[in-house]
Structures are given as C-alpha cells and as structure tokens.
C-alpha cells in the first residue's frame, strides 16, 4: 500500500498531535484537579483539528454545518472547563490562606511558649544576694512605700506596692535607709510603671557612669589653658589690638578677663552646689575655647545616676541662673560706681550686643551713654563715659 505525500503528512501530524495530548495529560496529573481542567481546555481547542484531520484520512466529507457545530462544541467545552478551573482556583486559594493562617497561629503560639519559658527562667535567677534582698525589703514601711511584690529586673529588682507619702520625700527617706543598711552598694529609683503606678527600682552601683579617666582629665586641663588664652586674645581684639603681637599690653585685658572668669566660676559653682544637694557627682568641666567670644562655656558630664527629673532640671538650671544674676549684679555695680576719671576705657559698641545690657546704661549714665568711648574702673568693675 503506497500512501501519497499529503496523506503521509496528515498521518504524521495526527500522531504528533495525539502524542502532545498524551504528554500534556501526564504533566497535568502532577498539578491535581486544576491541571487536569487546564489540560481539558487545551484539548477542547485541539480536538476540532484532530477530528478534521481524521475525517480527511478516512475520506469523510464534512459540510459547513458540521464544521460550525464542531467549533461551537469546542468553544462551549472550553468555556465550561474554564469556569470549573476558576472555581477550583478560588478553592485552592482559600485552602492556601487557611493553611498559612494555621501556620502563623502555630508559629505565634510557639513563640509565646518560648518567651514564657525564657521569662520563667529569668524569674528563677535572683540577681541580688538573698541577704541584700532582705535588707532592701527592710527599708519599706507603711509610712513610705508598702511593698507587695518584688520582680527581678536586669541586675536589680523592682518593688511594686503602694506609695504612702509625697514622692520626693519618700525617695529621700528610702535612699537614706538604703545607704544606712548597705552603704553605697545600690541605687534606688522611684518611678511610674506603664500603668502609671509608682514602683521602686533598686540597681547595683556598678551601673553608675564611670568617672573621668586620666586622659579626659588631661584634656580638660588643656582646654582650660586654651580657653584662658582665647579669653585674653578675644578681649585684646575688643580693645583694638592683637595681644599675641603686643603681649606687653596684657594688663589692659586682665580686668575684663577676671570679670568673665568670675562669671564662669559662679556658673560652675552653682552646678556643683546643686548637685551636692541631690548627691549627684559631676565631672570636671571641659571648657570650649573660641577666638571671637573667648569661650562657648563648658561641658560637664554626670558621673552618677540622677534620682529624678527634678534633680536634672535643678542642676542644669542652677548654672545659667547663677551666672546670669551675677552678671547683672556686676553690670549694675559697675554702672553705679562709674565716673569720668576711670582709668580703663572700652568702646560703647561692647554694650550693644544685648537689649538688656544696651539699655541699662541709659538709666545710670543718661546722655553720657551715647558717647563713643566708655571708661571702666578695673578695681571696681565700673564703667563710665568720657
């Protein structure tokens, strides 16, 4: 039997198409129901061509109506299988979301269990010696802070209970009792918990800020000497000459330099007096030199923990308040004692950098305050117009 080339080609195409259909069926089985439905859709598109090729090989003639019916059946099967595939896809999505939610709940539950175990292990560990803990519990009473529960916290312990007095007075009394019993070994803090209830926290003094090292102290000395130099130079520039090239005129800059350093000293002394009130340690001041205005002041570091916010505010505010009041007193005293015969003269522009300083001479000097040159008495810190 001899086949024509056209027939051989059609047979080859039919066999190839049938092989592709079977290969697709095997692959779709791995994807479950959705894969089989997708394979069915592809088969519904391929089936009309397979039927047409089969009819040609069997020499069956198809009229136009047969071809149209074949195409309509193929399209209908494709649409129907597509709807089933979409429904199956939605079901699969819901199943995946439910599975993910279940996995998340299991992971959350496991994390909570691990956290609970770790917290339980932390509670078992007692960061403070039993004897010290008993001594600490002994400082509480019905007239200060009535402790109802103790919870380990970092290297110390938190005491929950009821506050029986004013917070500041209670803190001072508890701190004094703790010092009498255990010396400088622990630090006591009276704060509010997240619920707004007062709690007492006791931590070992080993958590205090470290004192200044020898290198830091040497740096402070270097900055002090540098600030002394910039003070003299800045006042020399204010007087209209360069002290570094006219050092023989150093006596002219000493009065204002002494006045400025007296104010800085009062400023630092106020910080330290207030810190002693709250039993807070301060480092030595680190002065900040500047060629234009002599100095930016200084930086002082806390070397012990602050008991409360009131201490922080009072210590920080004491320096500027004392320095400002002392500066005003010096200014008023100098203006009152000023007279035309004073030996030290400074430009009036020196007093125009501040509204308070610039307007105050009018009340003491009257019309003399508008003179271009004012006279200053070094021994009296006094100012006058010439």
What is the structure's pLDDT at 271? 93
Helices and strands of the chain, counted as H and E runs: 9, 9
Query: Which range, of 12-21, 173-182, 209-218, averages the lowest pLDDT?
Result: 12-21
CA Rg, the chain, in Å?
46
353 vs 267, more confident: 267
How high is the pLDDT of residue 371? 46
pLDDT score, position 329:
86
Q: H-helix or E-strand containing 190?
A: strand 186-192
For residues 379 and 372, is the Cβ–Cβ distance under 8 A? no
65 versus 348: the higher-pLDDT residue is 65
CA pair distance 242, 66, nearest whole angstrom: 114
Q: Do residues 382 and 338 touch, judged by C-beta distance below 8 A?
A: yes
Domain 130-207 has CATH 3.30.1360: yes
Residue with tokens 């917070």: 167
Calculate mean pLDDT across residues 241-260: 83
* Residue count of the chain: 386
Cβ-based neighbours of 53, under 8 Å, separated by 6 or more: 10, 13, 14, 17
Q: Which residue has the tokens 């330290």?
A: 272
Six-digit token pair at 215? 């290198």
Query: Would you say 33 and 87 are in contact if contact means Cβ atoms under 8 Å apart?
Result: no
Tokens 């001594």 identify what position? 135
Q: How confident is the model at residue 372 (pLDDT cuts 50, 70, 90)?
A: very low
- Euclidean distance between CA atoms 253 and 344, whole angstroms: 10
pLDDT interval class at 5 (50, 70, 90): low
Residue with the bigger pLDDT between 296 and 356: it is 296
Who wins on pLDDT, 375 or 202?
A: 202
pLDDT at 240 over 60: yes
Instruction: Please tell me the least confidently modeled range out of 96-100, 117-121, 198-202, 247-251.
Output: 117-121
Q: Report the pLDDT averaged over residues 27-51.
A: 76
| pLDDT digit string, tens, across residues 93-135 | 888 888 888 888 888 888 887 776 655 544 444 567 788 888 8
Whether the pLDDT of residue 376 is over 50: the answer is no
Cα 110 to Cα 189: distance, rounded to the nearest angstrom:
36
Is residue 378 predicted with pLDDT exceeding 50? no
d(CA 327, CA 80): 95
Structure tokens at 351: 């007093």
pLDDT at position 317 is: 93
- Is residue 249 pLDDT above 90, yes or no? no
Q: How far is 331 from 334, CA to CA, in rounded Å?
A: 5
What region, left, alpha or beta, does residue 107 occupy, with left being phi > 0 and alpha being psi -120 to 50 degrees? Answer: alpha
Residue 120 burial class via C-beta count within 10 angstroms: exposed 0-12, middle 13-18, buried 19 and up: exposed
| Digit-coded pLDDT (tens) for 321-338 | 998 899 888 877 777 776
């Amino acid at each position: 039997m001899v086949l024509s080339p056209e027939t051989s080609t059609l047979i080859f195409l039919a066999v190839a198409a049938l092989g592709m259909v079977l290969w697709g069926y095997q692959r779709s089985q791995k994807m479950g129901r959705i894969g089989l439905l997708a394979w069915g859709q592809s088969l519904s598109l391929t089936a009309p061509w397979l039927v047409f090729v089969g009819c040609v090989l069997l020499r069956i003639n198809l009229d136009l109506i047969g071809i149209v019916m074949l195409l309509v059946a193929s399209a209908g099967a494709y649409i129907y299988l597509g709807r089933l595939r979409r429904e199956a896809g939605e079901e699969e999505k819901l199943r995946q979301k439910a599975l993910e939610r279940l996995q998340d709940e299991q992971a959350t539950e496991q994390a909570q269990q691990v956290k609970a175990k770790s917290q339980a292990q932390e509670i078992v560990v007692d960061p403070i010696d039993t004897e010290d803990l008993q001594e600490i519990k002994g400082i509480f009473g019905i007239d200060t802070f009535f402790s109802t529960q103790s919870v380990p916290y970092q290297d110390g312990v938190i005491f929950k209970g009821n506050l029986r007095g004013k917070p500041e007075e209670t803190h001072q009394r508890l701190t004094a009792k703790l010092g009498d019993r255990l010396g400088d070994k622990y630090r006591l803090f009276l704060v509010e918990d997240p619920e707004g209830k007062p709690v007492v926290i006791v931590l070992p003094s080993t958590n205090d800020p470290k004192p200044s090292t020898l290198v830091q102290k040497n740096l402070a000395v270097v900055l002090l000497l540098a600030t002394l130099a910039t003070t003299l130079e800045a006042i020399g520039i204010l007087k209209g000459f360069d002290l570094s090239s006219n050092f023989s005129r150093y006596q002219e800059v000493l009065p204002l330099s002494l006045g400025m350093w007296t104010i800085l000293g009062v400023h630092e002394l106020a910080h330290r007096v207030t810190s002693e009130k709250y039993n807070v340690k301060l480092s030595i001041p680190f002065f900040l030199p500047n060629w234009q205005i002599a100095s930016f002041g200084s930086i002082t570091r806390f070397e012990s923990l602050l008991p409360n916010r009131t201490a922080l505010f009072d210590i920080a505010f004491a320096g500027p308040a004392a320095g400002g009041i002392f500066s005003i007193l010096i200014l008023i005293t100098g203006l009152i004692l000023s007279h035309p015969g004073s030996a030290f003269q400074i430009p009036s522009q020196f007093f125009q950098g501040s509204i308070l300083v610039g307007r105050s001479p009018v009340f003491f000097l009257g019309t003399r305050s508008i003179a271009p040159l004012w006279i200053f008495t070094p021994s009296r810190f006094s100012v006058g117009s010439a």
